[in-house]
């Protein structure tokens, strides 16, 4: 196929190429968005390693490496060009690792990440085509298959690094989510919560760090505030209206928002661009729906078996995302059309 | 449209169509409920297959013979009642002569078979507009297609979850007790559907290559 | 009619140094190629072979009153016809004229413009062959349509928000008053209650212009590409009511500044619309500048005049966002072109990857569409479900492609969908029959 024909300009013969408009593109790339998410995971790992030693970092790395290897394998089997470079697999693996408990055995994040990539992501067509968030699905698998290994958290108050190998003797503590589920009256000081000095998953404890990462992702336009803020506000409203612990509305809201993986899911899982709606109103509705589901599951779910339910909520709204998106778009489009028609009618009169 | 005469080749075509290339479970996604819920044991799988065949064959035959005389709004209740009657018979047979334990563990899903979409779809749809021979072959293909899916799924799940096949231990160490959960059934079905699609695309490419040597 | 919202993107501006240089006239034009018709029908030229045609004399005789007589832009010898494939207009039947003289603009005394009625103005616009450079539509067509449908406010669009083009600024800098007079004529023709000139300029350029035209006659558009707000509007219940603001229901129409100037010159001096100011820029051009060229001049004459610093790989007719790449430099400059770029490299090129659904295209789409969903349905061949997404509202501004982090040709696909929905199935059906 000829790429172009020769032209004479200024006495010189030159070849001109074909190209489609626009000829100008911004420099932002998909890989940068994945990089943003990985960068936003780093502070969480650092904070966790301050409390528990090097083990959390190794767990996250296990998930990450497994996911990348599985992605390569999947691309090979599907005979596609490997899509590791876009960083999506690394992010999924990192997220899976960050949702583990610091004393989880290393094979659990490996199995979960492999499940995420080989069952939830690649069969649906790889990056950009999966329906459910692979990391959320992997956590759901862990919650169903090995709940004790994932939801048993070490006591951070001891300030003793967890051994890298066998973790049999580590002293465990109940996480706020489990305490809330058991109906205990709990109250943490807000500074303790911000520091993350309570039992919980690797990435989901240090509230201050998570909020800072959230602002970073907002500023980089990688995560949409239109999803996260309605989600958090709905959860807060649910906690304020139906408190599960004493100590006033403020305590209830604080405890509900900071316990479990509620905040982490909102920032890292819900905002995943592939599974979330694209339209602004769709995103708002999606966030609200996720919040309602999380709070409903906390109140009526089988909390004895699943202390964390945020990722189930994420999976459920994932399934609804395309429908929400289309309906919301159509609603706004129709309303705007009507408004304009009315304007034109008024202009004619 | 009823054809006046059906050759052996056409019958075989109908059978292969419903059995493999348009497999009722893996391609048309019909009758997933019993597979996902109860297909955890090869014995159950075989029992359900036999029951399905025992109910689907007579129902399809009857619908093919007299279905067109019944007004279309009356057909669903008629074949549902017919299927339930047959199922009661099958359940009695399983309970009395085969095994009471099997019946006890299957007891919820046997009656549910009566309203299974397989019957609605095959007996209510295909059979009515086809000759008895075609309807019978189609019912056999559907039942066997269903059986193929449920037997593979239940066999794999039995091996994974209990380390046994048809109740006989296989001597595995690595057990996945979660394989009895419904989600494992869904995932297995998904992969089987993908595998079937892959095989079909492979076959399509071969035949296309034969017909059109470019 | 699509509903436009105030979305869009901010583009980098590379108007220097072309914008600061004076508008030059092309020193040497040997031969011009002028279209005989923009439609598909075959039209015979009225003049014979090797006959001398005067500047402004019609080359064709239109059959109906609505069609524009296409006039010669130079004085020269008609030396045959040829067919060219133009990236903006498609296949065109063209007349080739060997230039004898590109006449200068000796202008006499302006005619009295006060007594011109709307019909007279429309006739002037038609006889002068004025074509609006914004969209390539004849000015008299636009004006007569607005006159029938009603137009509340008329805007001379000198914005050019795309990176390189500065020809509108050059025209305004040279003859802002005449542009405004032409705009005034057009406004009186369509019965608009007000008019102003919309620009997108730095404060130091805008200030002298505002002094020349009057503060309330110059409107600075917001820094958004594409421009959707050509006049200040107020929302009755919310915004503060300003004296110069229009109600939301007001219908704002716009014409290009060069068309305004051409209308004035046609009305005052009886001059035909024979040429345009075109920005020649790009990283391969040695001296980027604005050139006044007669229509039909081959692009390579413009490039020769400005000089090339390096060998261009892309020749773009139009600006970075909406321009079409041409594969030949022999194509003529036609009405509707205000910018020509010769590029060594496209600033950012990348291999397209799959859509990750970031939603940025939906965020910047000023027509309020869902470009990613349109592209998905097009690629999945769900043509029958395309119509519900209204791809026909797209005006091809290219903002969605600009922001796409996967580097996909979103705008191109949406345009395809706009042309495709509903028709692809029919095409297939016809193919099957044959």
Give me the CATH number covering residue A208: 1.10.3430
For residues C152-179, give the mean pLDDT. 92
Q: Are residues C127 and C226 in the same domain?
A: yes
- CA separation (Å) from A301 to A31, A137, C410? 37, 18, 43
Sheet holding C252-256, edge to edge: C218-220, C194-199, C153-158, C252-256
- Are residues C129 and C88 part of one domain? no
C434 pLDDT band, cuts 50/70/90, is very low
C62 is a domain residue? yes
Q: In chain A, positions 113-172, which contact chain B (CB-CB < 8 Å)?
A: 119, 123, 141, 144-145
**Subunits adjacent to chain B (3 or more Cβ pairs under 8 Å):** A
How many Cα neighbours within 13 Å face the side chain of C139?
Answer: 36
Evaluate whether residue B32 is within a structural domain. yes
Same domain, yes or no, for C179 and C252?
yes
State which residue of chain A sits closest to B186, comparing Cα positions: A119
Our count of domains for chain B comes to 1
In a domain, residue A7? The reply is no
Query: What number is the average pLDDT over the span B175-186?
Result: 83
Same domain, C254 and C124: yes
Higher pLDDT, B176 or C19: C19
- How far apart, in whole angstroms, are the C-alpha atoms of residue C422 and residue B157? 48
Q: How many domains does chain A have?
A: 1
Give mean pLDDT, residues B59-73: 83
What pLDDT was estimated at residue C66?
67
Neighbours of B168 (CB within 10 A): 9
Residue A290 has pLDDT above 90, yes or no: yes
On average, the pLDDT of chain A sits at 88
Q: How confident is the model at residue C41 (pLDDT cuts 50, 70, 90)?
A: low
The verdict on residue B26 lying in a domain is yes
Nearest CA in chain B to A144: B178
Beta bridge partners of A17: none
Contact: A21, C324; criterion CB under 8 Å: yes
What is the number of structural domains in chain C? 3
Residues C132 and C225 in one domain: yes
Domain, as residue range, for C151: 118-269
Question: Are both C265 and C122 inside the same structural domain?
Answer: yes
pLDDT of residue A349: 66
Inform me whether the C-beta atom of residue A31 falls under 8 Å from chain B C-beta atoms: no
pLDDT number for residue A224: 92
CB A198 within 8 A of CB A257: no
Q: ipTM greater than 0.95, yes or no?
A: no
What number of other Cβ atoms are within 10 A of residue C209's Cβ?
18
- Whether pLDDT at A218 is above 90: yes
Give the pLDDT confidence score for residue C375 in this predicted structure.
92
CB count within 10 Å of CB B22 equals: 14
- Encode pLDDT of C413-425 as tens digits: 998 888 875 555 4
Is B213 inside a domain boundary? no
CA A152, CA C317: separation in Å to the nearest integer? 65
Residue C393 has pLDDT above 80, yes or no: yes
- Per-residue pLDDT for C255 more than 80? yes
Helix C257-269 / helix C118-127 crossing angle, nearest 10 deg: 100
Q: Please tell me the distance in Å from B178's CA to the nearest CA on chain A.
A: 6
pLDDT value at A4 more than 80: no
Cα(A318)–Cα(A313) distance, integer angstroms: 8
What sign results for the dihedral spanned by CA atoms C239, C244, C246, C247? positive
Greater model confidence, A57 or C27: A57
B-chain residues near A119 (CB < 8 A):
187
Rg (CA), chain A: 24
How high does pLDDT run on average in chain C?
84
Residues of C in contact with A27 (CB under 8 A): 348
Taking an 8 Å cut-off on Cβ atoms, the answer to whether B190 and A123 are in contact is yes
CB contact under 8 A, B194 and A123: yes
Q: What's the pLDDT score for residue C241?
A: 61
Stronger pLDDT, A53 or C66, i.e. the higher one: A53
Write down the pLDDT at residue C426: 45
Residue-wise DSSP of C282-310 = STTBSS-EEEEEETT-BHHHHHHHH-BSS
For residues C212 and C76, state if they share a domain. Answer: no
What radius of gyration, in Å, describes the C-alpha atoms of chain B?
Answer: 19
According to the model, what pLDDT value does residue B25 have?
Answer: 85
User: What pLDDT was estimated at residue C239?
Assistant: 52
Instruction: State phi, psi for C253 to the nearest 5 degrees.
Output: -115, 155
Residue A135: both structure tokens together: 């990391």
pLDDT of residue A1: 30
Residues of chain C found within 8 Å of residue A22, distances taken between Cβ atoms: 320-322, 398, 401-402, 411
User: B2 lies in a domain?
Assistant: no
Q: Do chains C and B touch (3 or more CB pairs under 8 A)?
A: no
**C-alpha span between B124 and B131 (Å, rounded):** 13
pLDDT tens, residue by residue, C215-252: 889 999 988 888 888 888 765 555 556 666 787 778 88
Closest CA to A120 of A266, A10, A275, A297: A275
Q: Is A208 a domain residue?
A: yes
Dihedral Cα B153, B157, B163, B167, nearest 10 deg? -60
Identify the domain boundary among C269, C302, C322.
C269
Cα B50 → chain centroid: 9
Tell me the C-alpha to C-alpha distance, in Å, between residue B200 and each of A286, B209, B211, B214. 38, 14, 16, 21
Mean pLDDT of A261-278: 93
Q: Is the dihedral of CA B193, B199, B205, B211 positive or negative?
A: negative
CA-based nearest residue to C412, from C359, C371, C355, C370: C371
Average pLDDT, chain B: 81
A-C contacts (CB, under 8 Å): 186
Average pLDDT over residues A88-112: 94
Domain membership flag for residue B92: yes
Q: Which of B183, B180, B148, B142 is nearest to B164 (CA)?
A: B180
Query: What does the pLDDT look like over C349-361, one tens digit per residue?
Result: 678 888 998 899 9
- In terms of domains, do C77 and C148 share one? no
pLDDT of C6 reads: 63
What is the arithmetic mean of pLDDT over A184-213? Answer: 87
- Is B1 a member of any domain? no
| A103, A107, C307, C341 from A216: Cα distances, Å | 29, 31, 47, 38
Which of A24, A16, A86, A2 is CA-nearest to residue C349?
A24
The arithmetic mean of pLDDT across residues C260-268, rounded, is 92
Averaged pLDDT for residues C117-137: 88
Sequence-ordered list of residues with C-beta below 8 angstroms from that of C67, at least 6 positions apart, any chain:
none
Please give the residue of chain A at the shortest CA–CA distance from C349. Answer: A25
Domain-embedded: residue C323 = no
Q: Is the pLDDT assigned to residue A3 strictly greater than 60?
A: no
Tell me whether B181 touches chain A (CB under 8 Å).
yes
**pLDDT confidence bin for B27, thresholds 50/70/90:** confident
Residue B47 lies in a domain: yes
Q: Are strands C194-199 and C153-158 parallel, antiparallel or unpaired?
A: parallel
pLDDT at position C83 is: 86
pLDDT value of position A320: 95
pLDDT given for residue C288 in this prediction: 93
Closest CA to A136 of A257, A290, A31: A290
Neighbours of chain A (3+ CB pairs under 8 A): B, C
Q: A329 versus B28: which is more confidently predicted?
A: A329
C294 domain-assigned: no
C129 and C88 in a single domain? The answer is no
Q: Do the domain assignments include residue A22?
A: no
Residues 6+ apart with CB under 8 A from C115: none
Does the pLDDT at position A2 exceed 50? no
| Residue of chain A minimizing CA distance to B187 | A119
**What tens digit of pLDDT does each residue of A75-85 get?**
998 888 888 88
Nearest to A337 by CA among C237, C417, C236, C390: C390
Point out the domain boundary residue: C253, C269, C285: C269
Number of H-type helices and E-type strands within chain B: 9, 2
Q: Which residues contact C365 (CB under 8 A, 6 or more apart)?
A: C7, C371, C399, C400
C-alpha C208/C-alpha C215 separation (Å) is 10
Task: Compare all CA atoms of chain A with the CA of C341 and give the residue at the minimum distance.
Answer: A23
- Chain B residues touching residue A145 (CB < 8 angstroms): 176, 178, 181
> What pTM value is reported for the model?
0.86
| pLDDT score for C427 | 45
| Mean pLDDT value across residues A60-66 | 96
Do C185 and C91 fall into the same domain? no
- Confirm whether C245 is domain-assigned: yes
How much is the pLDDT for C385? 82
Q: Is the pLDDT of residue C5 over 70?
A: no
Nearest to C38 by CA among C86, C3, C89, C106: C89
Per the CB < 8 A criterion, the answer to whether C284 and C343 are in contact is: yes
The verdict on C140 and C210 lying in the same domain is yes
| Cβ <8 Å between A21 and C411 | yes
Q: pLDDT-derived band of residue A95, with 50, 70 and 90 as boundaries? A: very high
Domain assignment of residue A215, given as a range: 30-327
CA distance C19 to chain A (A): 20
Highest mean pLDDT among A168-177, B127-136, C337-346: C337-346
Judge if C80 and C139 occupy the same domain.
no
pLDDT band at residue A60 using 50, 70 and 90 as cut-offs: very high
Q: What is the pLDDT of residues C300-340, one digit of tens each?
A: 889 888 988 888 888 999 899 988 888 888 889 988 889 99
A15/C314 Cβ within 8 A: no
Comparing A53-67, B30-44, B99-113, C308-322, the range with the smallest average pLDDT is: B99-113
Q: In chain C, what percentage of residues exceed pLDDT 90?
A: 27
**Which helix (H) or strand (E) is C144 found in, with range?**
helix C139-149
pLDDT reading at B1 higher than 50 = no
């Amino acid at each position: 196929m000829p790429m172009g024909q020769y032209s004479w300009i200024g006495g010189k013969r030159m070849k001109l190429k074909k190209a489609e408009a626009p000829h100008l593109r911004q420099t932002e790339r998909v890989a940068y968005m994945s990089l943003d998410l990985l960068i936003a995971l780093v502070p969480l790992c650092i904070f966790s390693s301050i409390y528990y030693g090097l083990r959390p970092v190794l767990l996250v790395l296990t998930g990450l490496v497994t996911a990348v290897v599985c992605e390569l394998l999947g691309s090979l089997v599907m005979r596609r060009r490997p899509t590791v470079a876009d960083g999506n697999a690394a992010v999924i693996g990192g997220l899976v690792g960050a949702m583990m408990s610091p004393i989880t055995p290393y094979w659990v994040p490996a199995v979960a990440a492999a499940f995420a990539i080989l069952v939830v992501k690649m069969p649906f067509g790889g990056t950009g085509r999966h329906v459910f968030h692979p990391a959320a699905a992997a956590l759901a698998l862990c919650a169903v298959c090995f709940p004790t290994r994932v939801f048993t958290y070490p006591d951070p108050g001891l300030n003793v690094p967890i051994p890298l190998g066998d973790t049999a003797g580590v002293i465990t503590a109940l996480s706020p989510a489990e305490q809330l589920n058991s109906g205990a009256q709990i109250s943490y000081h807000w500074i303790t919560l911000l520091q993350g000095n309570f039992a919980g998953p690797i990435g989901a404890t240090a509230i201050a760090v998570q909020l800072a990462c959230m602002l970073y992702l907002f500023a980089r336009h990688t995560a949409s505030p239109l999803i996260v803020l309605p989600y958090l506000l709905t959860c807060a409203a649910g906690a304020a209206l139906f408190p599960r612990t004493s100590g006033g509305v403020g305590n209830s809201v604080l405890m509900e928002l900071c316990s479990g993986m509620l905040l982490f899911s909102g920032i890292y899982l819900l905002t995943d661009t592939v599974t979330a709606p694209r339209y602004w109103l769709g995103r708002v509705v999606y966030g609200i729906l996720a919040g309602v589901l999380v709070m409903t599951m906390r109140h009526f779910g089988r909390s004895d078996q699943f202390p964390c339910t945020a990722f189930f909520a994420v999976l459920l709204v994932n399934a609804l995302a395309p429908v929400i998106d289309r309906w919301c778009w159509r609603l706004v489009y129709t309303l705007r059309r009507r408004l304009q028609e009315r304007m034109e009618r008024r202009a004619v009169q | 449209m009823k054809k006046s005469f059906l050759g052996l080749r056409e019958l075989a075509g109908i059978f292969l169509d419903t059995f493999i290339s348009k497999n009722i479970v893996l391609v048309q996604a019909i009758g997933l409920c019993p597979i996902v819920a109860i297909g955890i044991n090869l014995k159950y799988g075989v029992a359900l297959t036999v029951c399905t065949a025992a109910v689907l064959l007579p129902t399809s035959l009857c619908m093919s013979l007299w279905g067109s005389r019944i007004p279309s709004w009356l057909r669903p209740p008629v074949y549902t009642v017919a299927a339930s009657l047959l199922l009661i018979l099958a359940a009695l047979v399983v309970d009395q002569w085969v095994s009471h334990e099997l019946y006890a563990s299957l007891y919820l899903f046997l009656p549910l078979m009566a309203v299974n979409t397989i019957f609605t779809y095959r007996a209510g749809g295909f059979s009515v507009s086809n000759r008895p021979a075609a309807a019978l072959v189609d019912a056999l293909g559907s039942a066997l297609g269903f059986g193929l899916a449920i037997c593979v799924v239940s066999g794999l799940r039995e091996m994974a979850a209990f380390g046994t096949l048809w109740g006989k231990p296989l001597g595995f160490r690595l057990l996945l007790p979660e394989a009895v959960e419904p989600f494992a059934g869904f995932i297995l079905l998904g992969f089987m559907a993908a595998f079937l699609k892959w095989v079909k695309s492979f076959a399509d490419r071969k035949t296309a290559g034969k017909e059109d040597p470019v | 009619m699509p509903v436009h919202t105030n979305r869009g993107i901010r583009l980098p501006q590379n108007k220097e140094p072309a914008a600061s240089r004076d508008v030059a006239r092309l020193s040497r034009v040997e031969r011009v190629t002028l279209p005989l018709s923009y439609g598909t029908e075959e039209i015979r030229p009225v003049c014979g072979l090797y006959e001398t045609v005067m500047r402004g004399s019609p080359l064709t005789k239109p059959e109906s009153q609505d069609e524009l007589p296409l006039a010669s832009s130079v004085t020269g010898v008609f030396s045959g016809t040829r067919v060219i494939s133009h990236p903006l207009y498609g296949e065109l039947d063209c007349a080739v004229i060997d230039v004898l003289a590109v006449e200068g603009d000796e202008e006499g005394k302006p005619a009295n413009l006060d007594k011109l009625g709307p019909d007279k103005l429309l006739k002037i616009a038609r006889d002068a062959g004025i074509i609006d450079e914004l969209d390539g539509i004849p000015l008299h067509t636009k004006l007569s349509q607005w006159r029938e449908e009603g137009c509340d406010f008329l805007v001379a669009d000198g914005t050019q928000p795309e990176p390189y083009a500065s020809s509108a600024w050059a025209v305004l800098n040279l003859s802002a008053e005449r542009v405004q007079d032409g705009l005034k004529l057009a406004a009186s023709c369509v019965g608009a209650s007000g008019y102003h000139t919309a620009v997108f300029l730095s404060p130091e350029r805008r200030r002298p212009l505002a002094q020349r035209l009057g503060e309330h006659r110059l409107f600075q558009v917001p820094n958004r590409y594409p421009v959707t707000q050509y006049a200040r509007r107020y929302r009755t219940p919310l915004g503060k009511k300003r004296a110069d603001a229009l109600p939301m229901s007001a219908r704002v129409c716009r014409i290009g500044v060069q068309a305004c100037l051409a209308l004035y010159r046609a009305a005052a001096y009886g001059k035909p619309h024979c040429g345009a100011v075109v920005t020649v820029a790009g990283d391969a051009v040695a001296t980027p500048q604005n050139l006044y060229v007669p229509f039909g001049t081959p692009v390579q004459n413009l490039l020769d005049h400005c000089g090339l610093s390096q060998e261009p790989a892309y020749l773009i007719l139009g600006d970075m966002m909406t321009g079409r790449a041409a594969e030949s430099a022999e194509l003529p400059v036609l009405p509707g072109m205000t910018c020509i770029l010769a590029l060594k490299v496209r600033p950012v090129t990348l291999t397209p990857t799959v859509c990750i659904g970031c939603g940025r295209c939906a965020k910047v789409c000023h027509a309020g569409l869902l470009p990613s969903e349109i592209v998905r349905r097009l690629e999945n061949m769900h043509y029958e479900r395309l119509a519900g997404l209204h791809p026909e509202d797209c005006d091809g501004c290219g903002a969605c492609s600009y922001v796409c982090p996967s580097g996909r040709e979103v705008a191109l696909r949406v345009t395809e969908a706009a042309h495709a929905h509903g028709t692809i199935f029919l095409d297939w059906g016809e193919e099957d029959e044959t």
